[in-house]
Amino acid sequence: MSMAPLYIDGVSILGPGLANWEEAARILCGEQPIELAPIVVAAPALLPPTERRRAGMAIKLSMAVGLAAADAAGIDPASLANVFSSTGGDCENCHNILETLASSDRMISPTRFHNSVHNAAAGYWSIATHCTAASTSLAAYDATFGAGLLEAATQALASGKPCLLIAFDTAYPEPLYALRPIPYPFGIGMVLNPARSAASLASLRLALTRDPVEPMDDAQLEHIRQQIPAARGLPLLRALATGTAGRVVLDYLDDTRLALEVGA
Amino acid sequence: MLALKLSAYTLTSALGAGILPHIDALRRQRGGIVRQHWETVDFEFCMGEVAGVDAFALRPDLARFDCRNNRLAQYALEQDGFADRVRAAIDRYGADRVAVILGSSTSGILSSEVAYRHRDPASGRLPAEHRYRETHNAYSVADFVRHYFGLSGPASVISTACSSSAKVFGAAQRMIELGLVDAALVGGIDTLCLTTIYGFSSLQLVSPNPCKPFDAQRDGISIGEGAAYALLERPDSKATGGILLTGVGETSDAYHMSSPHPEGLGARAAMTAALEQAGLQPDDIDYINLHGTATPSNDAAEDAAVDAVFGRATPCSSTKGHTGHTLGAAGGIEAIICALALDGGFMPGGVGTEARDPRLHCNYLLQTVERPLRHVLSNSFGFGGSNCSLIFSREAV
């Protein structure tokens, strides 16, 4: 069975060669090729100077993606319930803590420690945007995008209010990179609205399925989709970019996948 | 919101394995916090360790998940006949109609902490036997539990520090109310690790003694570990005196990464939202299980928030003095303590607290009170300003 319909109000993306939604949309439509390049993301001006100095890639990336999606939806982020989905949170910070704990002086810094919680990016987001609404941070290994989409959708439908999904992944340095090779930082943002608005790009109905995923046509995009959990949302963004109504299947857990009925 | 029934539940902490030792410890005000050495930590500290985790062996077919966190996960799952109740629900609804939503803050990171001590000196590589995905990764414990039962429904780990396993009740409630699944296995599992021991120490938030929530002499937390589970389903058509989840309130402080808003504004909003969801007034709440970590600022902020919403009469206590602060498992453990209190008709008096802080105003219980209860509220607040309040109610028979 599928859940009640939702509307996607504003979408954003940040990844290698995918600098913003407009550029990504042309690539997803096949109008221009993707040129893989390291992502560039500035420290968010919204954060107070102390927090800005402490902001690593996870915080910068999630904030950029979240602000772009809220802006595209025309909604003040201060009022938006939000879901942060990420397989590993701030992987660089985690590696640094593990190195310190394996050294002769194990006293990790207070900042590194409070940045180690999986919801650190969400905490900085709430401070920067003054958002006091509900916020959930979750993980489901390679199924993390699907888990985030389900949580944001159920949050929006149950509350009757829009919910912002911020799906992002960062990369571990070695030695953990060898065990979890995420090649690039990558993020997708979108606002799920239980009511249609002027900013609505498409309608969406979610259900669980066992049907297969249709891979991305472009080999590099398909590689990104397979290597980065947050990029498992790319087939949905392709449907939004091409304006194609119909059924999109996203990877979720093993043989359990998400079927999305995308409408006008 | 649609109320859900806790059709089975269990918990394991420093107080013991399963429900019975917990009821006994809560009624008699027995604590499980002990000063000792642990792992390779170079100082003694007071902690709530679960006995027997080191020696526990995972089911052989799940050996790839072996780590302290998943050992505790399975050990706790097999108490009180809980796993059998889950299997019965799977038979009733189907493997794809039961969700697994668990809370954990640090998952099995201890495995990577140990592996980083044994990197190859030349290449820097981790030992070949280290399994990141099945141990350290944030999703590991839900992956493990999902495989333990052969489930194919939705699954995730919510990781919002010390509110993690309170928030799982909200996420599961929404999935069931919207018809995505018929039942959910929720709970929280967190185990001792160096990251939290050294991290809280560097923040100077660890007490040198067993913690004293709401005491004038309180000076920090005692780190604990534990696991708790509940099976959530739609209630039966006829009330049977069971325990219901009736309210969930979730908010953000938007104030500071590791300190609560000093007036407890986010906590206040979470409690108010939970009352609204439950359709209850503050006077309807018979007992509050406080977050009550025993740091000076946390307890002061929570006290201000409770005072603002409930006034100064509602009986309340923290059970962190019994179990220690089990971090990502705390919301789940304290949810089950609320269920035990409702079912048994008692309000647990605090452990470790000798004299209430005269600067705090809420009605903190120093002695256990035996009295039938109808509605109770549980608070869980975490780093990053993540707040969750849950309300549990006893069905009228």
Note whether residue A238 is domain-resident: no
Which residues are B235's β-sheet partners? none
**Cβ of residue B259 closer than 8 Å to a chain A Cβ:** no
Measured in degrees and rounded to the nearest 5, phi and psi for residue B46 equal -90, 125
Contact B126 A118 (CB under 8 A): no
**Cβ of residue B175 closer than 8 Å to a chain A Cβ:** yes
B132-184: pLDDT as tens digits: 999 999 999 999 999 999 999 999 999 999 999 999 999 999 999 999 999 99
Residues spanned by the domain of B189:
4-394
User: What CATH number should be reported for the domain holding residue B254?
Assistant: 3.40.47.10
Strands (E) across B109-204 are located at 155-158, 183-190
Beta strands A6-14 and A186-193 are antiparallel
Q: Count the residues in chain A.
A: 264
To the nearest whole Å, the CA of B231 is away from the closest chain A CA by 19
User: What CATH number should be reported for the domain holding residue A78?
Assistant: 3.40.47.10
- Mutual orientation of helices A91-101 and A57-73 as an angle, nearest 10°? 160
Q: Which residue has the higher pLDDT, B259 or A264?
A: B259
A133-156: pLDDT as tens digits: 999 999 999 999 999 999 999 999
Q: Which long-range contacts (CB under 8 A, 24 or more apart) does A27-31 make?
A: A27/A218, A27/A221, A28/A221, A28/A234, A28/A237, A28/A238, A28/A241, A28/A242, A29/A241, A29/A242, A30/A217, A30/A218
Note whether residue A75 is domain-resident: yes
B338-357: pLDDT as tens digits: 999 999 999 999 999 999 99
- The predicted pLDDT at position B344 comes to 98
Beta strands B375-382 and B386-394 are antiparallel
Q: What percent of chain B has pLDDT over 90?
A: 97
Note whether residue A202 is domain-resident: no
The residue assigned the tokens 């096949």 is: A30
C-alpha B60/C-alpha B66 separation (Å) is 10
Q: What's the number of domains chain B is made of? A: 1
Q: How far is CA A147 from CA A183, B155, B204, in A?
A: 21, 7, 35
Mean pLDDT taken over chain B: 97
Contact list, B170 vs chain A (CB under 8 Å):
134
Residue of A nearest to B103 (CA): A138
Cβ B180 vs Cβ A208: under 8 Å:
yes
Contact B385 A123 (CB under 8 A): yes
Measured between its terminal Cα atoms, the distance across chain A in Å is 21
Q: Name the B residues in 206-225 with CB < 8 Å from any A CB.
A: none
B181-229: pLDDT as tens digits: 999 999 999 999 999 999 999 999 999 999 999 999 999 999 999 999 9
Q: Cα angle at B155 between A59 and A248, to 5 degrees? A: 80
Mean pLDDT by 10 residues, chain A (264 residues): 90 96 97 91 85 88 97 98 98 98 96 96 96 98 98 98 98 97 97 97 96 95 97 98 96 96 93
* B162 in active site: yes
- The predicted pLDDT at position B140 comes to 98
Among the options B22, B136, B291, B375, which is catalytic?
B291
Note whether residue A177 is domain-resident: yes
Measured in degrees and rounded to the nearest 5, phi and psi for residue A183 equal -75, -30
Among the options B46, B67, B162, B211, which is catalytic?
B162
C-alpha B141/C-alpha B157 separation (Å) is 8
Q: Which two three-digit tokens encode residue B135?
A: 């141990």
To the nearest whole Å, the CA of B341 is away from the closest chain A CA by 28
Q: What's the whole-number mean pLDDT along residues B279-285? A: 98
C-alpha B317/C-alpha B382 separation (Å) is 18
Residues spanned by the domain of A86:
8-195
Enumerate helices (H) and strands (E) in chain A, giving the number of each: 9, 8
Q: What's the number of domains chain A is made of? A: 1
Q: What is the per-residue burial (b if ≥16 Cβ within 10 Å, else e) of A12-43?
A: bbbbbbbeebeebbebbeeeeebeeeebebeb
Mutate to test the interface with A, among B149, B178, B245 (most CBs of A within 10 A): B178
Cβ A92 vs Cβ A216: under 8 Å:
no
Note whether residue A223 is domain-resident: no
Cβ A185 vs Cβ A90: under 8 Å:
no
B232-256: pLDDT as tens digits: 999 987 767 899 999 999 999 999 9
Cβ A245 vs Cβ A264: under 8 Å:
yes
Contact list, B105 vs chain A (CB under 8 Å):
117-118
- The predicted pLDDT at position A43 comes to 82
Strands (E) across chain B are located at 4-13, 16-17, 34-36, 45-48, 98-103, 155-158, 183-190, 223-224, 226-233, 243-252, 287-289, 315-317, 346-347, 363-364, 369-370, 375-382, 386-394
Q: What's the whole-number mean pLDDT along residues B67-86? A: 98
What's the pTM value of the predicted model, to 2 decimals? 0.98
Residue A218's identity, in one-letter code, is D
Q: Of A51, A98, A127, which has the smallest distance from its Cβ to B113's Cβ?
A: A98
**Cβ of residue B64 closer than 8 Å to a chain A Cβ:** no
Measured between its terminal Cα atoms, the distance across chain B in Å is 21
- The predicted pLDDT at position B178 comes to 96
Q: What's the whole-number mean pLDDT along residues B267-282? A: 98
